[in-house]
Amino acid sequence: MVEILFLPMEQEKKEACMKAMKLTSWVIIFFVFMFSNLFGEQKLADSKKLGEKLVRQLWENMEKQNIKAIKESFAEGFQSIHEFGANNAKEELKLIKGLKLGKYTLSDFKVSRNGDVLIVTYFVSVAETIEGKSLPKKPSPRMSIFVKNNNTWKWLAHANLRALK
């Protein structure tokens, strides 16, 4: 505890000084709390923008069949899951090469971040052909996970929760 030494002064002045110091302390605590919340909210908003940007870029690369960019986006240990089973990066790339995407809409993004890991869930409305099966254009949930590696975000995992019929 900090002890404050007062030079001889009237008791009233001492009490007024102590009240002012307490009030100042509470004001400082209030502002520290408010600004830390604002910075936390800003960090969350930045993560949401980043997660949405990464997913949109990924879908643009799939639509344009930019295989080089997709291949470079994979993180070591990449894995995906689809109704027909799990894929590693090589298998996922083969699947993407065979995709026939129609016009798509991405929506309802939810992003969470833990350090250098971003988890992005979202819905996709797209007419697509996977494994030779045409699927109607209805919203279906997806999840993509990205990890930051050497200041570059890499695609670590993907879940396609759309049922093949």
Q: Do 67 and 93 touch, CB atoms closer than 8 A?
A: yes
Q: For the ranges 43-57, 60-74, 89-103, 121-135, which has the lowest average pLDDT?
A: 121-135
112 touches 22 (CB < 8 A): no
Helix, strand, coil shares, percent, the chain, to 5: 40, 40, 20
Question: Phi and psi of 98, rounded to 5°?
Answer: -90, -5
3-state secondary structure of 59: helix
> For 61-94, how does the pLDDT look when each residue is reduced to its tens digit (9 = 90+)?
999 999 999 999 999 999 999 888 999 999 999 9
pTM score, whole prediction: 0.70
Mean pLDDT of 153-161: 94
Looking at domain 32-160, its CATH architecture is Roll (3.10)
What's the pLDDT at 162? 75
